[in-house]
Amino acid sequence: MSVKRLGAELERALRVRPKGAPLAGRKSDDTPGCDDKKRAGALLEANRARLELLQNRLHAESRRSLLVVLQGMDTSGKDGAIRHALTAFNPLGCYAYAFGVPSEVERSHDFLWRIHQVVPAAGEVAIFNRSHYEDVLVVRVKELVPRAVWSRRYDAINAFEHELAERGTTVLKFFLHISREEQRERLLARVHDPEKHWKFREGDLEDRERWSEFRAAYSDALARCNTAWAPWYVIPADRKWYRDLAISQIVADALERMDPRTPAVTLDVPRLEKRLAP
């Protein structure tokens, strides 16, 4: 399958539709468009080349920007997706930001205040590892604020993302869909490998015990904040190689649709060649 055909298949299979339950019937080990790991590796390399070229043009154009949002349960592969699928981006025009527990200063402002501080400027690519959606996910499940508070945030998020789009920011949102069984295996891998102990938190187990509650919260977020200007994609994440291929493909296709152009500059080549003569 060509890169172009793969993009069309992923758009059809993985993009959340306007109606229906976003996670109903979706398998976390599915591989629509490519079920061959070796072929996926070749396609991933092709996408990395596309990402490198298109990001360079976006940076040179310096008029628009791209925001990639990664959400998912613990061990779903947010870090891995950044490291493998999006590694082609030049750090000079790209940054990744991980959102943890809000600081005291951040809590003294509205929930979107800290997000506004790190949205991409013109010419930049920003990757959010977790995001403003934590305020309708963790905050909801752990009952950190009343329902009357978090339930109003869906509309605020849609308005915020619409504002970004109006300013020229393309917003892509990925839910990394992992099974409870696969999460168990990955958590055990952290427990058994001393090199991964630093990644393990007791809180991961507490969140795991609320699996169904988190799934319901994610389903609502995907349904209520899936818009034409900031679409959600559900990425089957049990197979890491497929996760990386799907994300790289969707992001590269979005950049191609943006069609960034380097500034038109006319150089007097003969004169410059004379000045550069040995």
- Over residues 137-158, the pLDDT tens digits come to 999 999 999 999 999 999 999 9
Regarding pTM above 0.75, the answer is yes
- Give the closest residue to 235 by CA, choosing from 7, 28, 20: 28
Task: Report pLDDT for 129.
Answer: 97
Task: Report pLDDT for 255.
Answer: 98
Per cent of the chain over pLDDT 90 is 88
Residues of the chain with pLDDT under 50: none
Burial of 89 (0-12, 13-18, 19+ CB in 10 A): buried
Dihedral angle at the C-alpha atoms of 188, 193, 199, 200, nearest 10 degrees? 40
CA distances from 136 to 83, 204, 264, 269 (A): 26, 18, 44, 57
127/157 Cα distance (integer angstroms): 17
Task: Report pLDDT for 1.
Answer: 60
Can you tell me which residue has the tokens 């999006």? 86
β-sheet with 125-129: strand ranges across: 94-98, 125-129, 65-72, 169-177, 232-236
- Give the closest residue to 171 by CA, choosing from 223, 95, 235, 120: 120
Task: Report pLDDT for 31.
Answer: 97
